[in-house]
Structure 1
Amino acid sequence: MLKSSTVIALLFLAFLHVSPVLALDTSQGKLTLSKMASGLDEPWGFGFLPDGSVLITEKGGTLWRLVDGDRHLVDGMAEVAEQGQGGLLDVMIPRDFQASREVFFTYSKWQPDGSGTAVGVARLSEDGRRLDGWTEIFELTPGSSGGRHFGSRIVEAPDGTLFVTIGERGDRPSAQDLSRENGSVIRINRDGSIPVDNPFVDDPAARPAIWSYGHRNPQGAGLDLDGNLWVSEHGARGGDEVNAVRKGANYGWPVISYGRHYSGAKIGEGTAKDGMAQPEFYWDPSIAPSGLMVYSGALWPEWEGDIFVGSLKFDYIARLGGDPLAEEEQLQSGETERVRDIREAPDGSIWFLSVGRGALYRMSPG
């Protein structure tokens, strides 16, 4: 009997319907780039359904389902606060989707005197055309305003809990304030309750959902091959980081940083301080990282365990590997314009969203 993962991969391959192909030169030779969807308006996140179709979010609040080269709207999305960098953001399809039909989303929502990052869940109808039973399971503690630094990726942990990345909302000191979730990675259960083993559940002065803090604006997140969480986050002028996220760790923003303020002024106290974690890698100048994936090696074994991060600023996909971690390759073409999200498909191909092209692409062997 075929394993369920094999069946999903076969369904996925049968589903593929591609437009004319392009080529991309890489360390693994010339790869094929296929445009899977076009005409997207500020696409932000996407996820693969077991039947081979794909859900795609647009920042303005639209959810699309891509089916055999065509796409249709999915109704039932909650109202979002489209403001600056905020709106409908990430989408995550859990491992038990075939049984639960649940889909999770991050988005910005209006709050008293401002807006904040929120998490919602709904069930996708059998025909894939509507969301039912929308439930909000988390929202950022109110008190933030403006349109910057919402985060916001959502990742299903190996134990079924949810990691969500949240930016400091442009309020730098809040990233060191445990009484607020700004500038943190949170961990919640699927119903929004708090796992009993979170690091600050017994601290009455802390928000119990916080898993790590001292982050600036993490817009990429993914699990490595051992199930550990990694995030990529925006620095200011320089100092974009890739961090291996540890329970209860403080990643230093804005006390330490490898960048400078946009004015050129020094940030905080320098690049290191006792009790604050160091990045595994940082970029200077900034590349504006968004989207992070750790590759399984399914189609390209030489890339097994490597980290792929999209650049919104320099229009390429960074491949990082080695110990210590280093940027080993830049995958770049006209199609890698402002890469917002990047994911591995069930068949081992690599897909990415280009904001600049308003398109979703698939990378496969040449």
Structure 2
Amino acid sequence: MSSTQPSVPSQPPVLDPVEVEKKGILAQPKAVWAVFFACIIAFMGLGLVDPILPAIASQLDASQSQVTLLFTSYNAVMAVAMLITGMLSSRIGIKGTLLSGIVIIAIFSALGGFSNDIWTLVGLRGGWGLGNALFVATALAAIVSLSNSGAAKAIILYEAAIGLGISVGPLLGGWLGAISWRGPFLGVASLMVIAFIGLTILMPKADPAKKPQTKTTLADPFRALKHRSLFVFGIAAALYNFGFFTLLAYAPFVMGLDEHGLGYVFLGWGMLLAVTSVFMAPKLQHRFGTIKSMCAMLTLFALLLLAMGLWTSTQWVVIVSVILAGAFLGNNNTLITTAVMNAAPVERSTASAAYSFLRFIGGAIAPFTAGKLAEIYNPSLPFIVGAGFVMLSVVFILFNKNHLKHVDIAGAGH
């Protein structure tokens, strides 16, 4: 990756809320805010289709499991594409990779808006995943390298963009989806054009003097996974993402709400995710340490999934559980992203690619599995299975905690 990226420090930064406030996380260059805005739009794509999943199933005459393939193809392509992001960005630069990702997202989301059958839509959604992989993996590196407030606060800013995108996405999806299920796809394409213009104007050109001496190869992410700590976080993320995407891709089918209703539920989910990722996660890490906080959040998330499995037919339980899950996932996302960035002595771009490859594999398997389990057995089983996978991630982390000591910092005297 570009040498403008900070090298991995020997000691991971503590997300100290006092320091964040003292130095001002909002005092960023215009280029950071341009990437931030583009991140919000890119992550809208994750939750954008949630409110329209039942409508797509109905209007395209598709089964639940077929519709959940919109998440499976998206995540599967993202997982594989993550492996080439570093290789590509080390050749065309961070800005070039970001703009390429935006163009691909815009093209495939627009084509999705004009498709007429579920299989075409599934394929186009996979193309959307390719663009998202190029953008998302590089955006984190861009924000970290362009930020003037340090890596820890740059990661918080990145997680805030994720949270805002994930929360606004369902709201926009519900609003546009109430008009037509095609609306959200065309809406994202339009917003991506705005993001492209913003990045083109505000993001600086690469400094020729700072071009990387060596180019990243396809093998680098696999070499990075030889570091036990990075491998542990990747596998744990794959396991808990099974629960994450069971909730995201399957829950809309059992809530019994229209597009607007689903949009508001996932708006609440995303808002909690955004707020906790920025304000609560740093305090948890500072007070209790990374590993304890992660395990606590994942355990609580697993319990929510279990409650959804036990009371699937009780609408308010499912709705409240989905919204509350945002808080636990928001905390965990910031904690694990910060830990991954400091897990191994490799460049952040390489660590991100290796970790993302593993976690999106879990995100690819879960949606279709959830739909099939519901069709073959009953509507409750997907949530129960999801809860089991999330708890397995906790067990895996605790079993390997001796390999994670260097990223597990608790505030002294607490």
Please report the TM-score for the alignment, with normalisation by the length of structure 2: 0.27
Structure with the bigger RCO (C-alpha within 8 Å, sep 6+) is 2
Task: Answer 1 or 2: which has greater helix percent.
Answer: 2
Task: Answer 1 or 2: which has greater strand percent.
Answer: 1
